[in-house]
Structure 1
Amino acid sequence: KDSHVLHLIGKDILKPHGFFWPIMLHAAGIPLPDQLLAHGWWTRGGLKESKTVTKELAAQAPVRHIRELVEEYGVDPIRYYLLREMTLGRDQDYSEEMIVTRLNSDLANDLGNLVNRVTKLIKQNFGSKIPPLTDPEFGEELREKAETLPDDVEKLIDELKPNLATEEIIALVRHTNGFIAAHEPWKQAKIGNLEGAGNCLAVAIRVLRQVGILLYPVMPLKSLALLEQIGCPLNESQMVRDSLDWNLPAEGTELPEGEPLFPRINWKDIEKKIVAAIPTTSKPEKEKAEDDESGLITIDDFFKTELRVAEVIRADKVLDADKLLKLQIKVGEEQRQIVAGVAEFYSPEEMIGKKIVVVANLKPAKIRGIESNGMLLAAKKGKKLRLVTVDGEEIGAGAKVG
């Protein structure tokens, strides 16, 4: 009754959820949302993914489906990447190389390295049992950061900033790695100062427990595995916030054996694997011989394409598509509609009256849900684009180009 109701939706379905959905909820007697938040698009090369865009991008670099990414890296690391990178309400670009870079940086280098260092040193120097924290003031600054972090994370989540909340958690991990590097517990143990080494490791493993619990909503499986490795499994019946306790794991808790949680990923090996999986089409020897003059076509091939002059009689912007214009064109006595990616270079007003050249015998295609019957010709170099046009009154709409 007193809760704040938030509905998270995709930004390209704002109208149905902003108008029709509240009406349906009201009719059913269900409380209306206090807030609608439209999630941004995941883009590749700055473009919203679609069948057409994916094919274009695949020609430049291998593209794998999200299911393949989950199979390759695991569901939790992919969940982490999505929450870590996306600012709710904005678009976010991604590539598989960007995913690998983030996972290596945050999970393998920072969190995974911290878990490995702390547990290995405890096993080597304290018989796999967590050493006592004999000096309560040891690492006091780090402890303060760890104890205030839950409030900071909760505030950021309430502000709908899960990416910044996740960033704060990893910042504590990095701070702890710096804390260990500064105190060098391996050197302290080597010179016989086990108390100093033990205090450092006892503080670090307490931080790891805080981190594991706070990351549980982001990476539930990996977080449970982390907490198991430090001898402090999470009671899943408890709320995450109620599980936070600086005094755990307790002195003398025995650490079990465990596999590395976040092995480093070699992007070059992954890239080779992706390229090797791309199907190749092998031609018969006879056909290969005929293709010696690669790229050349016959005159018959050329005349399969019907190029005609068309006059633009109307032009409109396409809703939510900065690069597209919807054009009504006249080809002889026929009027048809095409969608063209020229909005960055020509305004609708500039297009009206132009005599352009179109491919008139293309099969109709849908672009952003709008039917397009043809394709205009244009020349592009760098960031400049110019239409192929016909001058003069003597050449009318519908004339063949050849």
Structure 2
Amino acid sequence: MSKDTYYVTTPIYYPSDKLHIGHAYTTVAADTIARYKKMHGYDTMFLTGSDEHGQKIERKAAAEGKDTKEYVDEIVASFKELWKKLDIDYDYFIRTTEERHEKVVQKIFKKLYDKGDIYKGKYEGWYCTPCESFWSERQLEEEQGEKVCPDCHRPVEWVEEQSYFFKMSKYADRLLEHIKEHPQFIEPESRRNEMISFIENGLDDLSVSRTTFDWGIPVPIDEDHVIYVWIDALSNYITAIGYQSDPENFEHYWPADLHLVGKDILRFHTVIWPIILMALDLELPKQVFGHGWLLSKSGKMSKSKGNVVDPVVLVNDFGKDAIRYYLLREVAFGTDGTYSTEALIQRINSDLANDLGNLLNRTVSMVEQYFDSNIPVVGEKEAVDQELIDLTAKIKVEVEKEMEELKYTVALERIWDLVRRTNKYIDQTTPWILGRDESKKSRLGTVLYNLLESLRIIAVMLKPFLTETPLKIGEQIGHLSEIKNADWEAVKWGGLKSDVKIVNGDAIFPRIDLEEYYEKVEARKEKESEKSEEAKNLDLTEIKDRITFEEFMNADIRVAEILEAEKIEGSDKLLKLIVDIGLEKRQLVAGIAKHFSAEDVIGKKIMVVANLEPATIFGVKSEGMILAATDPDGNMVLSAVSDEIANGSQVK
């Protein structure tokens, strides 16, 4: 019977592109604390997911010529595949495009509006689409004469629009009092002090709706507006567990015990989110922990900088446990750290291969040699044995303390204290010398039993951190099922059964040669480059799967004349076209702006697929698709026809 609940969340990640190693850092940390709590008997809820609405997503999909939902479906699938590769054992993956979430978000908006906490006004200010943030004039920075976002240094846009506003200022004093009375609410302390200062400087009311794009949840009282990210995305933490849809489940898990977030979104989770909860008369989460960034050598990772590290590649190259260990061990949780492949390989070789892997290999080899692969019984004891036993008990307590404070790095260091001490125990007891003297058989049995028992305890303590290694250790020491099913109470001396067969297997962490690895990486890049060149050539020759005549006839292709054309603001790829298709005039969005100016295409006769379902691309309605061809070098040609052919003529 579970003694209590524990609810932990990651941020819901934005599917504008695939995730990088920094996202993996947060999610592995959340997975580790969830696994640790489960081992203590908690009824654990671990939530992650994807934040799928907004102008940035709409524009990314349009730039790739895809339906917005189709685009996010593909990216979200890559999220789930990454979490599978890293053995992330989440309980629920929420998507903000889920019908249940959308309906509850509308209820939340309506409740806040009816309460008088949301009102209609007008917004004017600078807006950064990639960051989805508004900035005052004094907050902006300037680069090459252009106003840019102080966070991502990309251009900002001046926005003027009607908006619904949330009364943040109404709850500022109450929130400030809560933070000061509950110091554990925001961790680490340096972040808490930042948020206190931010609130004390005054809170502006928050714009919570948009009219400049459609990809979002409609405001229930005004369909010209969509609900903006603050109420939409942040509410996932309560909609996922049944707020307004499953009261029993919601009451069972709420309030959340831990929101794990990067420091860049701490303000949203410790100012905006708790004020929304206060307005809804709900309890606040017990803790929000803002961890540091995992940086590349050139700074914070971002696709625009081209400095991201792909965790899928790392898992494929080094294995999931090596990556999980590195993420949790290398950087003190709460501070910034820098990823490097050299440091990763050094960790693998020193900690995992030399310390742990070598300990396992030496131990099972000696049991195989001296006891015919049978775990011996405990015989003659000495003081050095009790020292090892006492250390395991001490380290268990220390690991528990560090984990309660989310000090993953320190907790792993304590476990490695036991790994290194057990290696030292081998040197102290010299089992290879004991093995030469038959009269020392009893003493040798004690030594090898103690080594195997230390390995069993190490494996159990590693279960929250690593998902394959404990089982590999269990298999080799003959206790696979025991370790697989072990809870935290199994971390005590004496759980190893004697007269059980061990299995001397392969090294659990082979050493990696840095130069050889880089040679393989270079060879892979060359191969990928060759494949890319081949793919370009294949574009001209490969034919897609055959379709039937009836399927082709379902496409209504018409001759159309381009009457008007203009660039869509904010996009360097899209033109908005007005075309005459004979029966009527239509508005289309075409991704041709990099190849043709608006003036170039006016008056041209082209071919258009006229019976496509309408789509909204970059906030602009599109009712059809023009036909064009692109060669392997990226040059585009429109499917032009003779001026003599009447508009609306069917292409057959």
TM-score, scaled to structure 2: 0.40
Q: Assess, with a 3 A threshold, how the Cα gap between structure 1 residues 165 and 171 changes in structure 2: closer, same or farther.
A: same
Q: Which residue of 2 aligns with 1:308?
A: none
Q: Confirm whether residue 270 of structure 1 aligns to residue 270 of structure 2.
A: no
- Aligned with residue 296 of structure 2, among 40, 44, 50: 44
- Aligned with residue 406 of structure 2, among 160, 174, 184: 160
Q: Once the 2 structures are TM-superposed, how far is the Cα of residue 226 of structure 1 from its aligned partner?
A: 0.8
Deviation string 1:88-138 (CA, Å, 9 cap, x unpaired) is 211001111110100111010000000000000001110100112113445
* 126-135 vs 18-27, greater mean Cα deviation: 18-27
Q: Assess, with a 3 A threshold, how the Cα gap between structure 1 residues 234 and 144 changes in structure 2: closer, same or farther.
A: farther
Distance 1:2 1:248 in 2: 28
Check conservation: 2:356, 2:419, Cα contact below 8 A. Answer: yes
Q: Which residue of 1 aligns with 2:339?
A: 94
- Aligned with residue 450 of structure 2, among 188, 191, 203: 203
Check conservation: 2:459, 2:483, Cα contact below 8 A. Answer: no
Q: Confirm whether residue 109 of structure 1 aligns to residue 344 of structure 2.
A: no
Check conservation: 2:361, 2:504, Cα contact below 8 A. Answer: no
Distance 1:70 1:27 in 2: 43
Q: Which residue of 1 aligns with 2:316?
A: 71
SS state of the match for residue 38, structure 1? strand
Unpaired segments ≥5 residues, structure 1: 56-62, 283-402
Distance 2:501 2:485 in 1: 23
Check conservation: 2:471, 2:484, Cα contact below 8 A. Answer: no
Q: Which residue of 2 aligns with 1:261?
A: 508
Q: Over aligned residues, Cα RMSD in angstroms?
A: 2.4
Q: Assess, with a 3 A threshold, how the Cα gap between structure 1 residues 98 and 51 changes in structure 2: closer, same or farther.
A: same
Distance 2:435 2:482 in 1: 33
Distance 2:407 2:305 in 1: 29
Q: Confirm whether residue 7 of structure 1 aligns to residue 259 of structure 2.
A: yes
Q: Which residue of 1 aligns with 2:436?
A: 190
Deviation string 1:256-296 (CA, Å, 9 cap, x unpaired) is 342221111111111111122234979xxxxxxxxxxxxxx
Q: Which residue of 2 aligns with 1:357?
A: none
Q: Confirm whether residue 180 of structure 1 aligns to residue 432 of structure 2.
A: no
Q: Assess, with a 3 A threshold, how the Cα gap between structure 1 residues 199 and 242 changes in structure 2: closer, same or farther.
A: same
Distance 2:417 2:437 in 1: 31
Check conservation: 2:456, 2:483, Cα contact below 8 A. Answer: no
Distance 1:262 1:278 in 2: 25
Q: Assess, with a 3 A threshold, how the Cα gap between structure 1 residues 237 and 181 changes in structure 2: closer, same or farther.
A: closer
Q: Once the 2 structures are TM-superposed, how far is the Cα of residue 31 of structure 1 from its aligned partner?
A: 2.9
- Aligned with residue 146 of structure 1, among 373, 384, 392: 392
Distance 1:124 1:205 in 2: 14
Q: Once the 2 structures are TM-superposed, how far is the Cα of residue 204 of structure 1 from its aligned partner?
A: 1.0
SS state of the match for residue 8, structure 1? strand
* 37-46 vs 238-247, greater mean Cα deviation: 238-247
Check conservation: 2:381, 2:443, Cα contact below 8 A. Answer: no
Deviation string 1:29-85 (CA, Å, 9 cap, x unpaired) is 653122221111111226111235435xxxxxxx85211001111111111111111
Distance 1:246 1:174 in 2: 18
Q: Which residue of 1 aligns with 2:365?
A: 120
Q: Assess, with a 3 A threshold, how the Cα gap between structure 1 residues 80 and 30 changes in structure 2: closer, same or farther.
A: farther
Distance 2:305 2:356 in 1: 36
Q: Assess, with a 3 A threshold, how the Cα gap between structure 1 residues 181 and 46 changes in structure 2: closer, same or farther.
A: farther
Q: Assess, with a 3 A threshold, how the Cα gap between structure 1 residues 166 and 46 changes in structure 2: closer, same or farther.
A: farther
Check conservation: 1:212, 1:226, Cα contact below 8 A. Answer: yes
Distance 1:234 1:40 in 2: 37
Report the AA paired with residue 196 of structure 1.
R
Deviation string 1:345-394 (CA, Å, 9 cap, x unpaired) is xxxxxxxxxxxxxxxxxxxxxxxxxxxxxxxxxxxxxxxxxxxxxxxxxx
Deviation string 1:222-245 (CA, Å, 9 cap, x unpaired) is 111211211112447856212224
Distance 2:358 2:486 in 1: 28
Distance 1:28 1:174 in 2: 52
Q: Once the 2 structures are TM-superposed, how far is the Cα of residue 86 of structure 1 from its aligned partner?
A: 2.1
Check conservation: 1:10, 1:40, Cα contact below 8 A. Answer: yes
Matches within 5 A, 1:308-323: none
Distance 1:133 1:120 in 2: 18
Aligned residues: 275
Distance 1:113 1:54 in 2: 38
Q: Which residue of 2 aligns with 1:214?
A: 461
Distance 1:257 1:29 in 2: 59
Check conservation: 2:376, 2:498, Cα contact below 8 A. Answer: yes
Distance 1:247 1:201 in 2: 13
Distance 1:124 1:275 in 2: 43
Distance 1:2 1:218 in 2: 20
- Aligned with residue 34 of structure 1, among 259, 264, 286: 286
* 20-29 vs 241-250, greater mean Cα deviation: 20-29
Distance 2:448 2:287 in 1: 45
Check conservation: 1:47, 1:53, Cα contact below 8 A. Answer: no
Q: Once the 2 structures are TM-superposed, how far is the Cα of residue 170 of structure 1 from its aligned partner?
A: 0.8
Q: Which residue of 2 aligns with 1:18?
A: 270
Deviation string 1:169-211 (CA, Å, 9 cap, x unpaired) is 0111111111101221012102332222222111111111110
Q: Assess, with a 3 A threshold, how the Cα gap between structure 1 residues 261 and 237 changes in structure 2: closer, same or farther.
A: closer
SS state of the match for residue 478, structure 2? coil
Check conservation: 2:364, 2:504, Cα contact below 8 A. Answer: no
Q: Assess, with a 3 A threshold, how the Cα gap between structure 1 residues 203 and 52 changes in structure 2: closer, same or farther.
A: same
Q: Assess, with a 3 A threshold, how the Cα gap between structure 1 residues 32 and 64 changes in structure 2: closer, same or farther.
A: closer
Distance 1:212 1:194 in 2: 27
Q: Once the 2 structures are TM-superposed, how far is the Cα of residue 2 of structure 1 from its aligned partner?
A: 9.2
Matches within 5 A, 1:360-375: none
Q: Which residue of 1 aligns with 2:224?
A: none
Distance 1:46 1:133 in 2: 55
Distance 1:11 1:171 in 2: 30
Check conservation: 1:107, 1:262, Cα contact below 8 A. Answer: yes
Deviation string 1:315-374 (CA, Å, 9 cap, x unpaired) is xxxxxxxxxxxxxxxxxxxxxxxxxxxxxxxxxxxxxxxxxxxxxxxxxxxxxxxxxxxx
- Aligned with residue 81 of structure 1, among 303, 310, 326: 326
* 227-236 vs 253-262, greater mean Cα deviation: 227-236
